[in-house]
Copies of this chain bind each other. A is one copy, B any other.
Amino acid sequence: MSNTLKGSCIIGQSGGPTAVINASAYGVIRTALDAECITKVYGAAHGIRGVLDDKLYIMDEEDPKELELLKNTPSSELGSVRYKIADPDKDDTDYRRILEIFKKYDVRYFFYNGGNDSMDTCEKISRYMKKVGYECRVMGVPKTIDNDLWGSDHCPGYGSAAKYIATSCMEVSKDARVYDTGMITVIEIMGRHAGWLAGAAALATCCGSGPDLVYLPEVDFDMDKFVADVEAIYNKTGKVLIAVSEGIHYADGSFVSEAKTSATDGFGHVQLGGLAVRLANTLKERTGAKVRGIELSLLQRCGAHLASETDLNEAVEAGRLAVEAAVAGETGKMVAFERNDVDGKYVCEMTLIPLESVANLEKKVPREWINDEGNNVKQEFIDYALPLIQGQPERPTEHSLPRYARLKKVLAK
């Protein structure tokens, strides 16, 4: 084949971890190890930082069984990073170093697994290598629980987080309704700018025990309206379960979680603690009800024990496709998902889209998928998200606890 390129490859992971980012890494590593033209497979320690610091693990040295356990290992096993590299046209220091490392290890393939920022890094490296005439195929493998990557129907990581959130909301809903006394429970869910995760709480409603109210950052938050929404239900049933996105904000754009005092609570108290506790306290002051604030915190993004099989399989496939496409000659692309349902049955197909069309853009929940009141999602959202949480993958265990991959992480010299 004319476009055969022989050389080694690097895989790096970046941004916040997910339940299945390692499944994508597995897809990349396994496929790369099996690819004839790829001579060596390196894992960068802490993403691009590991390239800059010459800290590369030799994946060829790992036990294949341990590598396969990456599919069930949450978080970023190679280590992640939030380092933002400069624009190569302004400051090429980092890029010269990357090129040096690429040459040192004869790196001809670079796979980067991450969200918006990572695709930006990917795009810059791709652009630089082209500019200096170093042949290296650069591919992005998407991940983000936030589901806000532009150009893809959804992202690996989202389905599993959504499943964790929906399941936890069902469980909390059962628990929070157990006494014969009034109770208002606020659950805080990740998602700084997009409400995909908070909306997933509503999936629990399909199964009869979801939240009564759901607040997304796509709609401006109004504290008085919020209290009125809650009171209306509380006065009727005595029990209210509310899911809120951490990113809800007032009309002026300021985050509710960051307001030093709740502008409308009329008490002027300084409220510390997370958003859930803060909102719960406001509701307590306003309604006199018993309240509880629960923050799903890191649990929602690392809950591999509740991974969606659909999500996990797609994560592996995204990694595999990135390598296969690069071997076939593609570069400067990200693997994206296209939904092409057949007879109402969920079908996800993978495509490649240019990195520059993804980098630094955010996809939000369409306003028309949120009800007019702005306090719940509509059926359109459920229809979108429900297929993504389907299936329970095999979960290897040891002592009935998860058995994660144990990599040797042998450093290249």
Contacts and interface: CB of A to CB of B under 8 A. Distances in A.
A204 B273 CA distance: 28
A288 interface: no
A403 B207 contact: yes
How many copies of this kind of chain does the complex include?
A: 2
A56 to B, nearest CB: 14
A114 interface: no
Nearest to A80: B178
Nearest to A169: B401
A208 B178 contact: no
A302 interface: yes
Given A75-B174, A174-B302, A302-B172, A80 B179 contact: yes
Contacts of A361: none
B80 A46 contact: no
Nearest to A269: B272
B75 A178 contact: yes
Interface residues of A, number: 67
Interface string A385-413: 01001111001011111111010000000
A84 B354 CA distance: 66
Give the interface centre of A17, A81, A292, A390 by most chain B CB atoms within 10 Å.
A17
Interface string A163-204: 100111011101111111000010000000000000000011
A147 interface: no
Interface stretch (A60-68, A92-100, A293-301): A293-301
A301 B171 CA distance: 9
Nearest to A53: B180
Nearest to A295: B295
A406 B172 contact: no
Contact of A277 (B174, B274, B292): B274
A45 B292 CA distance: 23
Contact of A294 (B180, B272, B273, B297): B297
A211 interface: no
Interface stretch (A132-140, A227-235, A303-311): A303-311
A206 interface: yes
Contacts of A306: 305
B304 A208 contact: no
Nearest to A299: B168
B294 A299 contact: yes
Contacts of A406: 208
12 contacts: A75-B174, A76-B178, A80-B179, A168-B299, A172-B298, A174-B302, A185-B298, A206-B398, A207-B402, A272-B273, A273-B274, A292-B298
